[in-house]
Amino acid sequence: MKKLFAMMLVVCMLLAGVSALADEPITIRVAHIGPTTGAAALYGLATLHGAEIAAAEINAGDGPYHIELINQDDEHNVEKVINAYNAALDAGAQMILGTTTSKPCEAAGAQGYIDRVFFLTPSASSTAVIEDKDNVFQICFTDPNQGLASAQYIAEHNLGTKVAVIYNNADVYSTGIRDTFVAEAAQRGLEIVSETTFTDETTDFTVQVADAQNNGAEIVFLPMYYTPASLILKTAADKDYQPIFFGVDGMDGILGLEGFDTSLAEGVMLLTPFVATSTDEHVVSFVNQYQAAYGEIPIQFAADAYDGIYILAAAAEKAGITAEMEPEEVCDLMIAAMQEITVDGITGSMTWDASGAVTKSPMAATIVNGEYVFED
């Protein structure tokens, strides 16, 4: 009898132990890699902050997983990113949220492919980031997709037929979008009447805007980030030239640019998966938290990284990742899990295929009275 009692006690204790284990959340270690210093720091800090907010939310909740965020700076540099990646793994990271920018992501992802480390990049959008590698997944659209979608949108909504393109020929993002845009525009019967380029150092866009104006462009396509775009808008306003300006997701953030007269951006159209002024409950909560913590309106990069942490948590749950697993083991489980999950994030509803590219629908917004208004 005594023996039986003792055995029952042991069983009870074991059960208690097991249930206690089940209640205890599993902490997975995620490394955020992005440029938190240097010329592209704006984007790296945005993804870091977005990820921090999501991690804090998850850790405060009662989900099965907790996130320990490790941050490493890659300075937007192809050599440094490998150092950052190695330092992150030395620090015990099991998977990588990153990297923020395309070229470093291409280099680090290739190294990760050899070492078997899982990457989920919030914002590296060139196709080379996911090509020939099964370990890298994207949250944002690829550059060609944006060019394609822009040309389709312009043609389908009959915005005009004479298009001018101004792009940064020293930038992977800009040239990537421009290449497919021009190819698709030809298919869709759009006429490219002016095509001019600039580089990172350009501050005067008089020549480019004048060329578009003299060739009678009705639409000016701006595949670039918002800083040069703001200068182009200013130059066009000075010349009293008022075509439809059509931007891509890099244009997001232009309304928050310091010293920029937002009235210049009136009527600008852009494709973006995230709009900070949306009334969606989840977006409002994110924007409020972000503003409270960092004192600024989040840009799309922050939203992508915020979603990224939730995606990693969802995939980790699906894959059954534990805190003890090595990155190599995590990688294969995560690759399989990523293709099975659907995540409803603040940048849309997302699914993935084996290529690593995301499927979600782009949304076109127009700036009216200093705010985004959605087209359908």
Partner 1 sequence: MTKAKRNRLIYNIVTYALVIAAFILLQSMIANKSISRSLKGQLVPICSWIVMAVSLNLVIGISGELSLGHAGFMSIGAYTGAVVSGWLLNSFAVESTLLRLVLAILAGGIMAGVMGALIGIPVLRLRGDYLAIVTLAFGEIIRSLVNVLYIGVQDGHLCFSFLNRNMPEGVTMLVDGAKGAVKIKPISTFAVGFVLILITLTVVLNLVNSRAGRAIKATRDNRIAAESMGVPVTKYKMMAFVTAAALAGMAGALYGLNSSTVVPTQFTFNQSINVLVFVVLGGLGNVLGSVISATLLTVLPEVLRAFSDYRMLVYAVVLILVMIFTNNPLIRSFADRLIAPLKQLLRGKKQGGDEA
- Contact with partner 1 (CB under 8 A): which of 32, 52, 67, 72? 72
Tokens of 52: 């921090």
In the complex, the smallest distance separating the C-beta of residue 208 from partner 1, rounded to whole angstroms, is 17
CA 286 to chain centre: 15
In the complex, the smallest distance separating the C-beta of residue 269 from partner 1, rounded to whole angstroms, is 26
Nearest to 302 by CA among 146, 140, 144, 150: 140
Binding mask 289-308 for partner 1 (x = CB under 8 A): --------------------
Nearest to 148 by CA among 227, 223, 245, 224: 223
Residues forming a β-bridge with 66: 27
Binding mask 174-203 for partner 1 (x = CB under 8 A): -xx--x-------------------x----
> Do strands 191-198 and 162-168 pair parallel, antiparallel, or not at all (unpaired)?
parallel
In the complex, the smallest distance separating the C-beta of residue 55 from partner 1, rounded to whole angstroms, is 17
Q: Of 37 and 291, which has the nearer Cβ to partner 1? A: 37
Cα atoms in the 13 Å half-sphere on the side-chain side of 302? 25
Contact between 74 and partner 1 (CB under 8 A)? no
Would you say 146 and 300 are in contact if contact means Cβ atoms under 8 Å apart? Answer: no
Residues forming a β-bridge with 95: 30
- Contact with partner 1 (CB under 8 A): which of 103, 118, 220, 290? 103
Q: Of 33 and 236, which has the nearer Cβ to partner 1? A: 33
Residues forming a β-bridge with 70: 31
- Contact with partner 1 (CB under 8 A): which of 9, 15, 170, 354? 170
Q: CA-CA distance, 320 to 127, in Å (whole number)? A: 29
Contact between 288 and partner 1 (CB under 8 A)? no
Binders of partner 1 in range 5-44 (CB under 8 A): 36-37
Contact between 355 and partner 1 (CB under 8 A)? no
Listing DSSP states for 206-229 in one string gives: HHHHHHHHHTT-SEEEE-S-HHHH
Q: CA-CA distance, 279 to 282, in Å (whole number)? A: 9
Binders of partner 1 in range 105-124 (CB under 8 A): 106-107, 110-111, 114
Applying CB under 8 A, the span of 77-85, 225-233, 262-270, 307-315 interacting with partner 1 comes to: 77-85
Q: CA-CA distance, 168 to 171, in Å (whole number)? A: 6
Contact between 206 and partner 1 (CB under 8 A)? no
- Contact with partner 1 (CB under 8 A): which of 65, 67, 77, 372? 77
- Contact with partner 1 (CB under 8 A): which of 30, 31, 95, 172? 172
Number of residues binding to partner 1, judged by CB under 8 A:
33
Contact between 326 and partner 1 (CB under 8 A)? no
Q: Of 115 and 266, which has the nearer Cβ to partner 1? A: 115
- Cβ-based neighbour number of residue 147 at 10 Å: 27
- Contact with partner 1 (CB under 8 A): which of 24, 79, 326, 375? 79
In the complex, the smallest distance separating the C-beta of residue 126 from partner 1, rounded to whole angstroms, is 7
Q: Of 124 and 268, which has the nearer Cβ to partner 1? A: 124
- Cα–Cα–Cα angle for 100, 136, 106, rounded to 5 degrees: 55
Site residues, partner 1 (CB under 8 A): 36-37, 71-73, 77-79, 82-83, 85-87, 89-90, 103, 106-107, 110-111, 114, 126, 128, 131-132, 169-172, 175-176, 179, 199
